[in-house]
A and B are shown apart, each in its own frame.
Chain A
Amino acid sequence: DTGVSQDPRHKITKRGQNVTFRCDPISEHNRLYWYRQTLGQGPEFLTYFQNEAQLEKSRLLSDRFSAERPKGSFSTLEIQRTEQGDSAMYLCASRFMGRDRQFFGPGTRLTVL
């Protein structure tokens, strides 16, 4: 059981830089979610993919954020021109079609200085 993996686990960047995170879901899972979690809060939904199609984006996903899932397998989340307010844990989750349970990765902790 390989689980959901995320890379990197930690990222420190300077304000204004671009960052990209990667999520590898469980191999047979065709549904993929990105969430963001700030300190002391529960995770907040960012975006959803069904296979390679991005079907839903939260209002939290400003135009500086872009997510892709080019072949319906791994996904990337890019943040351009990072701001200090982007500092958070970015979580990826996946699930199999027809099943309710979401499997979460360990997250990528972003710190913007």
Chain B
Amino acid sequence: DAKTTQPNSMESNEEEPVHLPCNHSTISGTDYIHWYRQLPSQGPEYVIHGLTSNVNNRMASLAIAEDRKSSTLILHRATLRDAAVYYCILRDGAGGTSYGKLTFGQGTILTVHP
């Protein structure tokens, strides 16, 4: 799986938007961009994923650069419950023997201040 690069940590204030960047300069045409987050003492939780177009769901928005070499996860109004490690993951959508496994990096630790 192609690698991603994320900042080690970011900070935000409650009720402010948060933009979490991810670089994936070696992304291939069939790689989907996935975001998961992991709250303290819990298993990872799916946030959002996309291929080429920007995506929105009730948790977040995903903005994908036109050349797909970077993406940004947007939390529109951060809450204290959004404090977590956020992982940006590329998953090969071409099938074959990847079987959908996720290759996690170290992620970005998001701290939300009240």
Point out residues on A near B: beta carbons under 8 Å: 4, 31, 33, 35, 40-45, 48, 50, 55-56, 91, 93, 95, 100-107
Given contacts A91-B43, A100-B32, contact A56 B91 (CB under 8 A): no
Residue of B nearest to A48 (CB): B99
Partner of A105, one of B43, B97, B100: B43
- What's the Cα separation between A104 and B45 when bound, in Å? 7
Whether B106 sits at the interface, judged by CB under 8 Å, is yes
Whether B68 sits at the interface, judged by CB under 8 Å, is no
Contacting residues, chain A, for B32 (C-beta < 8 A) = 100
Point out residues on B near A: beta carbons under 8 Å: 32, 34, 36, 42-46, 49, 85, 87, 91, 97, 99-107
Residue of B nearest to A45 (CB): B101
Question: Interface SS of chain A: helix, strand, loop or mixed?
Answer: strand
Contacting residues, chain A, for B49 (C-beta < 8 A) = 100-101
> How many whole Å from A9's CB to the nearest CB in chain B?
10
Contacting residues, chain B, for A91 (C-beta < 8 A) = 43-44
> How many whole Å from A60's CB to the nearest CB in chain B?
12
Q: Is the CB of B104 within 8 A of A42?
A: yes
- Other A-B pairs, 6, CB within 8 Å; known A56-B101, A106-B42, A106-B43: A4-B43, A44-B104, A48-B99, A93-B102, A100-B34, A100-B100
* Most A C-beta atoms less than 10 A away, residue of B32, B43, B101, B104: B43
Q: Is the CB of B97 within 8 A of A43?
A: no
Q: Is the CB of B103 within 8 A of A45?
A: yes
- What's the Cα separation between A9 and B105 when bound, in Å? 24
Residue of B nearest to A92 (CB): B43
Q: Is the CB of B42 within 8 A of A42?
A: no
> How many whole Å from A32's CB to the nearest CB in chain B?
11
Residue of A nearest to B34 (CB): A100
Residue of A nearest to B49 (CB): A100
A-B pairs with beta carbons under 8 Å apart, 14 shown = A31-B99, A33-B102, A35-B102, A42-B106, A43-B102, A56-B97, A56-B99, A93-B43, A95-B100, A100-B34, A102-B36, A102-B46, A107-B42, A107-B43
